[in-house]
Chains A and B, each alone.
Chain A
Amino acid sequence: MSKQTLANIYGFRAKRGLLGVEIECEGQRLPDRVTDKWTIHNDGSLRNGLEYVFAQPLTYDQAMEALDEFEATLQQYKTLPKMSYRTSVHVHMNVGDRTPLQVLNQIILYGIFEEILVDWCGPLRRGNLFCLRMKDANSLPSKVKKWARNVQDPQILNTDHLRYAALNMRSIFVHGSLEFRSMRGTTDKTLIRKWIDMLMCLYTAAEEFEQPNQIIEQASAIGLREFGSMTFGRDLWNELIRENPNWQDKMQNGIWLIQDAAYNYEPLEAIEKVGKAGKKANVILDDELVAGPGEGLRPVPVVDWQRPPRDAPRLREAMNMMLRENMDNHAWQVQDADRVRDDF
């Protein structure tokens, strides 16, 4: 398996650190200085507002320190923040040192949970034109699919046409990061930390799959609730779905949106091999084997998948047992498919 990172492939220098945070803020007595970890920018889209940005990417622990410092500074200035619809919090996650497979896995995992995550971010973020979901901007899943088929081609994602997505993939080429834009404007450290934790769960889970389609098949095999719980940990998952009665439909729709990308991944070495042979990859041939009716999703090998580091240890045995039970009951097909069909 290729260990080439995005920085290697696209020829940019991977930055140190993992996280970047931008907090857009309006209000009175906004601080004109925080600490060395922060820089301050004017933002034309804000009214009497400022944008507070990490001066450089930070590790998770450093990022939490920086948020503490930010909160302390607001208290010191007796700031009265006004979080209007214009404000938001953007989180960057460095992916320059990640392989295309890891990044694609992260995008696919995000795509599955996107609607639930954006709902959690706040009602004004749902369908917000500054951070469109894949559901709203239906060109996004196609772009991810195209990129999955040819990760070597930077032109597919390096376009301004992707910038105002809830997940801004163009940021890979600007900052070496994936930018998550959907969090509502807030200065609440606990809330921002929780949002970062959720994104970290996706980041960590993305390392555990050897093929992107395993994500889809795993979700089908163990059930949506368990898949969500395993991805985010029980507490965060419960928080995500607590006030979201239709979360299963939303998650299933996410799977249907993003599965095209998951099943069209072409590993880098395969692209290089095919490229050398002078053929085009992924052409449908008439003599390819066919899938008959009902052969959609099949039981998949168990993926060695571990819980994100800060959560309680994940029990692989429990998952194996569940998989076996599900397979015995022939329950491995996508659950709640009928409901989704109606929406389709």
Chain B
Amino acid sequence: MLYDNQPDAERYLMHSWVLYNGHPYIVQGVAQVPIKHEMTCALAPHEWNPEPFNTVVNVNITDPQLSMLNFNLGYVNLTSPNNRSSTACYVARLPVRGAGYKQGLHENNLELTFCTPMRNPARFRDIQRNIGFAHMCINKYPSLREATAFIAGLNVPSSMAFNRQLAVSFDPELEDFTFHYRGDPIGRAEDAAHFRLPKSKRYLSEVLEANGVKLV
């Protein structure tokens, strides 16, 4: 990405999330390298990255491993620290510019859709430090079986993604599962292992089967 000068780069990058070597980092600063016509970014890793916490990585702004876009956004699994609830949140990027515009991921350019209600209203700034966000960036999700086993054991409506684009939720009162695709519910099932796909969603059967959902 090209910039006219250091303030220009700083304005567009500061405090937004970027990917470096496939892992999420937040931009802490942009500096002009003296004499050379180069700029560097100071990146702080996500708490759940492999690097030690509180380190800062300095990266040339033209480094091909640095990306503001290739996040492959999708579901983020937000699990409470005590494992008493879980919510899958679909994170979608908006093609938006305006005041406070950032090139990396930032709450100004994201839209969040929750599969099950959160106890507190959540914004991106609330979920960006969650391990689920780091897992989304590296495409790490539980299997469908693990996800259903976890949420079925909770006594509040909960949801969990088992793929970047697929999630399942469970309502303990009604004792049924709902499947979600890219933020929208697509059908219900009493048993997640035997899902009846509504006719109107038949076009998704291939996607579902490819991701371990057994259709009846």
Q: Interface residue count for A (Cβ, 8 Å)?
A: 46
Task: Please tell me if the beta carbons of A291 and B197 are within 8 angstroms of each other in the complex.
Answer: yes
Segment from A66-74, A131-139, A184-192, A305-313 that makes contact with B? A131-139
Task: Please tell me if the beta carbons of B202 and A164 are within 8 angstroms of each other in the complex.
Answer: no
Task: Please tell me if the beta carbons of B103 and A288 are within 8 angstroms of each other in the complex.
Answer: no
- The answer to the question of A286 belonging to the interface, with a C-beta cut-off of 8 Å to chain B, is yes
Q: Whole-angstrom distance from the CB of A245 to the nearest CB of chain B? A: 19
- The answer to the question of B206 belonging to the interface, with a C-beta cut-off of 8 Å to chain A, is yes
For B165, the chain A residues whose CB sits under 8 A away are: 344
- The answer to the question of B117 belonging to the interface, with a C-beta cut-off of 8 Å to chain A, is no
Q: Which of A60-79 contact B (CB under 8 A)?
A: none
Task: Please tell me if the beta carbons of A337 and B206 are within 8 angstroms of each other in the complex.
Answer: yes
Q: Whole-angstrom distance from the CB of B143 to the nearest CB of chain A? A: 15
Q: Whole-angstrom distance from the CB of B68 to the nearest CB of chain A? A: 7
Task: Please tell me if the beta carbons of A137 and B199 are within 8 angstroms of each other in the complex.
Answer: no
| Secondary structure class of chain A's binding surface, majority of residues | loop
For B205, the chain A residues whose CB sits under 8 A away are: 291, 293-296
- The answer to the question of A174 belonging to the interface, with a C-beta cut-off of 8 Å to chain B, is no
On whether A165 and B95 interact (CB within 8 A), knowing A129-B103, A290-B197, the answer reads yes
Task: Please tell me if the beta carbons of B202 and A296 are within 8 angstroms of each other in the complex.
Answer: yes
Q: How far is the CA of A216 from the CA of B207 in the complex (A)?
A: 15
Q: Whole-angstrom distance from the CB of B138 to the nearest CB of chain A? A: 15
Segment from B22-30, B42-50, B150-158, B184-192 that makes contact with A? B184-192
- The answer to the question of A317 belonging to the interface, with a C-beta cut-off of 8 Å to chain B, is no
For A341, the chain B residues whose CB sits under 8 A away are: 210-211
- The answer to the question of B122 belonging to the interface, with a C-beta cut-off of 8 Å to chain A, is no
- The answer to the question of B92 belonging to the interface, with a C-beta cut-off of 8 Å to chain A, is yes
On whether A216 and B196 interact (CB within 8 A), knowing A137-B94, A161-B96, A164-B96, the answer reads no
- The answer to the question of A85 belonging to the interface, with a C-beta cut-off of 8 Å to chain B, is yes
Interface bracket on B: 35 or more
For A284, the chain B residues whose CB sits under 8 A away are: 185-188, 198, 200-201
Q: How far is the CA of A129 from the CA of B197 in the complex (A)?
A: 37
Task: Please tell me if the beta carbons of B200 and A288 are within 8 angstroms of each other in the complex.
Answer: yes
For B98, the chain A residues whose CB sits under 8 A away are: 160
Q: How far is the CA of A133 from the CA of B76 in the complex (A)?
A: 22
For B199, the chain A residues whose CB sits under 8 A away are: 288-291
Q: Whole-angstrom distance from the CB of A85 to the nearest CB of chain B? A: 5
Task: Please tell me if the beta carbons of B203 and A163 are within 8 angstroms of each other in the complex.
Answer: no
Which of B200, B206, B209 meets A263, CB within 8 Å?
B200
For A138, the chain B residues whose CB sits under 8 A away are: 73-74, 92-93, 182
- The answer to the question of A8 belonging to the interface, with a C-beta cut-off of 8 Å to chain B, is no
Q: How far is the CA of A337 from the CA of B203 in the complex (A)?
A: 13
Q: Which of A129-150 contact B (CB under 8 A)?
A: 129-132, 136-142, 145
Q: Whole-angstrom distance from the CB of B63 to the nearest CB of chain A? A: 15
Which of B73, B95, B186 meets A164, CB within 8 Å?
B95
Q: Whole-angstrom distance from the CB of B99 to the nearest CB of chain A? A: 11
Task: Please tell me if the beta carbons of A160 and B203 are within 8 angstroms of each other in the complex.
Answer: no
For A160, the chain B residues whose CB sits under 8 A away are: 96, 98
Q: How far is the CA of A285 from the CA of B200 in the complex (A)?
A: 10
On whether A163 and B206 interact (CB within 8 A), knowing A139-B111, A285-B198, the answer reads no
On whether A292 and B216 interact (CB within 8 A), knowing A129-B68, A164-B96, A284-B187, the answer reads yes
- The answer to the question of A127 belonging to the interface, with a C-beta cut-off of 8 Å to chain B, is yes
Task: Please tell me if the beta carbons of A132 and B183 are within 8 angstroms of each other in the complex.
Answer: no
Task: Please tell me if the beta carbons of A290 and B198 are within 8 angstroms of each other in the complex.
Answer: yes
Q: Whole-angstrom distance from the CB of B1 to the nearest CB of chain A? A: 8
Q: How far is the CA of A130 from the CA of B4 in the complex (A)?
A: 16
Q: How far is the CA of A292 from the CA of B199 in the complex (A)?
A: 9
- The answer to the question of A56 belonging to the interface, with a C-beta cut-off of 8 Å to chain B, is no
For B182, the chain A residues whose CB sits under 8 A away are: 138, 141-142, 260
For A165, the chain B residues whose CB sits under 8 A away are: 95
Task: Please tell me if the beta carbons of A137 and B215 are within 8 angstroms of each other in the complex.
Answer: no
What are 10 A-B pairs at a CB distance below 8 A?
A: A127-B69, A132-B95, A138-B92, A139-B92, A282-B200, A284-B188, A288-B198, A290-B197, A296-B203, A296-B204
| Given A142-B92, A334-B206, 13 new contacts (CB under 8 A) | A47-B4, A132-B69, A137-B93, A160-B96, A161-B96, A163-B96, A259-B203, A290-B196, A290-B216, A291-B198, A291-B202, A295-B202, A344-B165
The 3 tightest CB contacts between A and B, nearest first, are A291-B202, A139-B92, A165-B95
